[in-house]
Structure 1
């Protein structure tokens, strides 16, 4: 049994997944072994070739990534490849000093090829080429890539709060779910870690370039000492042989280093994620025929100057001119195809104009509608995978989960009477919201603590009225770094639509929605619904009670408690206001929990006792509507608004606590002037919650 278990362990150890896990440790052990153990010339050839191959693979992967995080392991790859080159330098130095006197292939054929064929066996040329490659790598590419990584790391860290706020805003608006929000937060943190790691990893390449220069000097001096002192070689012969071997060693190490540095620059310098670098390069540089025509003209003029290489200039000018002509022709053909794709139908329209009118011409008004200008059509076009369609489906689902009933679907149509970038939201044919959106741009919203201005089209956030500015996509990260909350055009429209739907929830609950809600409840509690509607309470009274709750931002998810409360009190009264008050008492724990999460004491605004008596008398004399003297009403509005503002400044929800008989009157009276104020009754506060009065109106 023990032997069988050992066999199984060996099979598990050498499985494909474990071999992949062991690849990195084995590579590091091999690299470290090369620094200590002498390698034969053939092994050096293999490792040098592998070093060149791995650098080319890294460069190609960097070119075909769409965004930096697709190659998140790059900082580690940079460290490993740098360590591999340094260990090869140590191994090749050992081989050159031990066997350099035997001939030019003492350290392998790869070093010999780089030392003889690439520089023609000329030591001066080899040294110059090596120095140039080192300067290009050290001064130009590595320094630039390191600076980009440093700035990217700083901007990414500065932009993290804004990105987190944008994710939270999308989550609260129902545009994304918890899993997507968690993934986006992890991506934001990973992006910051990546640029921070790249900032540090670029120092590896810089140190490698300095080490290459020092190794070159050490090898030349050491080779001369070994050749002349130990092997009795002539100074000139030792100088030539050891220098060529050292130059070959340096070139074969610096070429992969240069390739890796270019890959690092490509990874950190790319902008956007709509394609790989090659596709972006071709599409953006050779996409304008006018630019190529002007370039071809300049080259042709230079080619006509006597003494210039006329053939080369005229050849390139002809090639660019031909390419510009071809692209211009393709654009014209595409425009012609687009025009013929939508033929006019005047005959059919004329026939339709003479048809008799029918009931089919009477179209019902949409409960909830979204009309867009023609430039916003791609955002809502299903054939173009419009992003706004997905967001509207998501926010409608979240509305049903949060509020407690399924609202009517949003009917979307284009309206040529609107401005190209405008949209408007309608409720039963009446406009309840409008704004503008610019596809391809981003709305940078000022939450009140930004560190600087942004250039762009100044506006206001259509949902909440905050100051904002439309900026180009290239300024998105800069806006994040300044503290702005940055969202795209589809998110702007979706957030505005969500805000409007939430604020008009009571208008969206019609007779049909109420009936559908009852049928949904009847699936689990059929007897409860059957005993209430329509035997005890008419459907329209139930609808009005639910609308009263929704008008004061109370969700109706707990329909079981609502129906049970109505079933208890409906036999004694059919007044919707009184029934709504009874339901509020039953939902008091949920109402207070929504305003004051947790179990801490609740901080409220109260009425001065004398003012309570005056309002109670007005309520008693004026019936349901009440009648408040104009001067008293003005004072009440002014003082309540001031107290509510002070509550908001302290970060507390503005809540007014009043007697039961005054709650309905004051809630309706203060709703327009102080929309953020919530009015609750004493009977709605659970006995387990402590009350603390922080402000008194009328005192």
Structure 2
């Protein structure tokens, strides 16, 4: 524990001790001025905190300050009744502040008590009670919101943990503040009772013990009691006001000593105001400057030292930041090696689209990119590299461009002040807009303004906002080029991750049977046909089984696809519904089987141009007919020619799935809606 921690504990113990041990009037004066200074500091800190957690120790501090005031009340009462004096400060408040009139003093005291008890304390207590109730009721909703953001990939696990802790701390604070408000309420009641005891007790002791005349005793002890009540109620009033300001603050996890020293003195400049206020007491009241000025000087000096320390730390941070920037600026522009780096994925946009990426303007593109990477990991089983987002003044204001490894693969143009309306199939002439093409899937669409949006929705159009258009396009481009994004380094990372859960299969396969490059080729071929590699364990086990028989990547890919038959079936088939496919006829399969040429370098397909054109037309016709019915066309072939059929089809229909019978589960019902043959 540090010195400040011991100091706080000693201070709390001394509060209790001074209720028992009589204190000299001079020490009472010092403690009263410290009480007023502390109340001013708390009020100013409460007014300058921006977030609840910045002053989270307020409920505990409220208890300590209340205990301190009550301890002073006990000590001053003892001094008044025993020595007929409470110190210079109390005498000043009893004579100078209220003009030496007991009646005026009683009225002023009662007014302060009424303001504190009925206005500030009562209102703060009610606010704290309602805030505690609503906070506890809203906790499940906040927790669900955090879980939803975490599930969507918008926040990390650490951010979710921090937000949960903050919600819990706020709920704890509201409950603590609801109870702490009772301290101030009880303090106000105790102030009235103590003042009445002082007046009545003073009369009795003055007359019976000290032998003073009744009038003199009444004048003396009434003014002293009123002065004691005022010096107690004024700080209480300031702290009650602070309670009303910070009623929504949250409890901290730190210890009391560090919290008080860190949070109470977080604003050193405010201490100059406290010191100046104390000096005004010495200037405009009969309080001795010898008493007040040293206290004000200590406070001002402490503020100066804290401010000096803060300025020094800020200056060091600025200098370090400048040094880091200079080092980076010296490295980056001159480094030729850095210029050779090519980003895996780049998203460039014109200056008119800056609002979709700038958080200060409400843009959420960065958050959407996080969700895209999470979605690709779930669907494809790959870790998408960091997407470089930058503006490009060479593009049109509303244009954007997507690059894969430095090469442009897609582009589009959006209008930020419009919505993309996609037709349900039957166009409505009443819906007017700017004709365009949806960039991700190439569907005809319209850009409609805010006024036409509702009418388009009523007509059945699908309405998409511009950021969603961009994120959808980016997602589809990444899926389409996923096989280009998985290199040897990425495959090595996936394998090392798998080594933690399945070390046996990894140690058997790599590098004994296959190299990382050979595994990469198989994974690339799977991703190229949109087959997820998330079930990497099954893929590696299949490779371990068949890599002893062949090293042909195409043949190994076919074995892996067959081992993923359930996954592939569920990817295209709907449970309890027949899978509609286009079947390769016997003549087509024979044509392909006869056209495969086997050499030492590998097998390849060789079909004459006339036959290729005929096959292309017939497959295209069958796929178009099936697509018009709203069904995803699928070409089904035998396992022997599937790989060659895929090589042929991907040249003119890369999105047409080509499956073999071995890749479909036996229980799935297959319905052939078309057969492709060659004469």
| TM-score relative to the length of structure 1 | 0.52
- Structure 1 or 2, whichever has the larger Rg, is 2
Contact 2:509 2:540 in 1 (8 A): no
Contact 1:616 1:661 in 2 (8 A): no
Does 2:562 correspond to 1:579?
no
Q: 1:543 aligns with which of 513, 524, 527?
A: 524
Structure 2: give runs of 5+ residues left out of the alignment: 251-263, 268-341, 419-464, 497-505, 590-618, 632-660, 672-679
Q: Which residue of 1 is the match for residue 484 of structure 2?
A: 511
Q: 1:503 to 1:130 in 2, by over 3 A?
A: farther
Compared with structure 1, are the counterparts of its residues 393 and 498 closer, same or farther at alpha carbon in structure 2 (3 Å cutoff)? closer
Equivalent residue for 1:79? 63
Map of 1:162 onto structure 2:
141
Matched residue SS, 1:268: coil
Q: State the SS of the aligned residue for 1:429.
A: strand
- Indicate the residue corresponding to 2:177 in structure 1: 198
Instruction: Provide the residue aligned with 1:51 in structure 2.
Output: 35
The farther-off stretch of 576-585 and 35-44 is 576-585
> Aligned in 2, Cα 1:535/1:138: closer, same or farther, shift over 3 Å?
closer
User: For 1:560-589, what per-residue CA distance to the aligned partner results, in whole angstroms no more than 9, with x for missing partners?
Assistant: 54754673676689469843434427999x
Aligned pairs (5 A) from 1:476-515: 506-511=479-484, 513-514=486-487
1:121 is the counterpart of 2:103: no
Select which of 643, 659, 662 maps to 2:664: 662
Counterparts of 1:268 and 1:368, CA distance in 2: 48
Of 140, 147, 158 in structure 1, the residue corresponding to residue 126 of structure 2 is 147
CA pair 42-664 structure 1, distance change in 2 beyond 3 A: farther
CA contact (8 A) 1:51 1:85 kept: yes
CA–CA separation in structure 2 for the residues paired with 1:431 and 1:531? 45
Contact 2:533 2:539 in 1 (8 A): no
1:239 is aligned to 2:218: yes
2:18 maps to 34
In the TM superposition, residue 514 of structure 1 has moved relative to its aligned partner by: 4.7
Offset at 1:112?
0.7
Q: Give the conservation status (yes or no) of the 8 Å contact 1:370–1:424.
A: yes
Provide the C-alpha distance between the structure 2 equivalents of 1:534 and 1:195, rounded to a whole number of angstroms. 57
Q: Which moved more, 1:148-157 or 1:524-533?
A: 524-533
Distance 1:79 1:542, change over 3 A: closer
Deviations 1:82-138 (A, max 9, x none): 1111111112112212222xxxxx111111111111111111221121112112212
The 3 A distance-change label for structure 1 pair 537 and 136 is closer
Q: Deviations over 1:412-456 (max 9, x none)?
A: 467999999x9999995367999999xxxxxxxxxxxxxxxxxxx
* Residue 166 (structure 2) aligned to one of 178, 187, 201: 187
Matches of residues 508-657 of structure 1 in structure 2 within 5 Å?
508-511=481-484, 513-514=486-487, 517=490, 528=510, 539=521, 542-548=523-529, 551=531, 554=534, 556=536, 560-561=540-541, 563-564=543-544, 567=547, 574=554, 578-584=558-564
Q: 1:434 to 1:504 in 2, by over 3 A?
A: farther
- 1:195–1:547 CA distance, 2 compared to 1 (3 A): farther
Kindly state the Cα deviation for residue 60 of structure 1 after the two structures are TM-superposed. 2.4
2:9: which partner in 1?
25
Matched, 1:107 2:91: no
Structure-2 residue corresponding to 1:258: 237
Deviation at 1:46, TM superposition (A): 2.0
Q: Compared with structure 1, are the counterparts of its residues 98 and 500 closer, same or farther at alpha carbon in structure 2 (3 Å cutoff)?
A: farther
Cα pair 2:402 2:410 within 8 Å, conserved: no
Q: What is the 5 A alignment of 1:201-212? A: 201-212=180-191
8 Å Cα contact 1:35-1:88 kept in structure 2: yes
Name the SS for the 2:246 alignment partner.
helix
Shift, 1:201, TM fit: 0.6
Aligned to 1:93: 77
Cα gap change, 1:398/1:34 in structure 2, threshold over 3 Å: closer, same or farther?
same
1:220 to 182, 196, 199: 199
Structure 2 contact 526–557 (Cα < 8 Å) conserved: yes
Quick one: structure 1 residues 182 and 125, their matched pair in 2 at CA, closer, same or farther if it must change by over 3 Å?
Answer: same
Q: Is 2:128–2:177's contact at 8 Å kept on the other side of the alignment?
A: yes
CA contact (8 A) 2:102 2:222 kept: yes
Does the 8 A contact of 1:569 with 1:579 survive in 2? no
* Change over 3 Å in CA distance of 1:265–1:578 after alignment to 2: same
Closer/same/farther in 2, CA of residues 180 and 617 from structure 1, 3 Å limit? closer
Supply the distance in 2 between the matched residues of 1:18 and 1:119 (Cα, whole angstroms): 45
Residues 341-383 of structure 1 deviation map (CA, whole Å, 9 limit, x = unaligned):
xxxxxxxxxxxxxxxxxxxxxxx999674869958628538xx
**How far apart, CA to CA, are the structure 2 residues paired with 1:668 and 1:162?**
46
Change (3 A) 1:536 1:554: closer
What is the 5 A alignment of 1:373-384?
Answer: 377=355, 379-380=357-358
Shift of 1:22: 2.7
| CA 235–367 in structure 1, closer or farther in 2 if over 3 Å, else same | same
RMSD: 5.5
CA contact under 8 A between 1:562 and 1:586: conserved in structure 2?
no
- Is the partner of 2:486 in helix, strand or coil? helix
Mark the CA change 1:389 to 1:500 in structure 2 (over 3 Å): closer, same or farther.
Answer: closer
CA contact (8 A) 2:492 2:516 kept: no
SS in 1 for 2:50: coil
Written as runs of structure 1 = structure 2, the 5 A alignment for 1:286-297 is none
In the other structure, the counterpart of 1:62 is 46
| Matched residue SS, 1:36 | coil
Residues 159, 617 of structure 1: alpha-carbon distance in 2 compared, 3 angstrom cutoff: closer
- CA-to-partner distance for each residue in 1:177-200, whole Å, 9 max, x for gaps? 333322221111111111211111
Q: Which residue does the alignment assign to 1:295?
A: none
- Return the alpha-carbon distance in structure 2 between the equivalents of residues 569 and 172 of structure 1: 43
In 2, Cα distance between equivalents of 1:564 and 1:405: 21
Q: Distance in 2 between matches of 1:242 and 1:214?
A: 15
- Could you say what secondary structure the match of 2:140 adopts? helix
CA distance in 1, matches of 2:413, 2:533: 18
Number of corresponding residues: 458
Q: C-alpha distance in 1, partners of 2:139/2:396?
A: 37
State the Cα distance separating 1:54 from its structure 2 match: 1.5
Q: CA deviation at 1:253?
A: 0.4
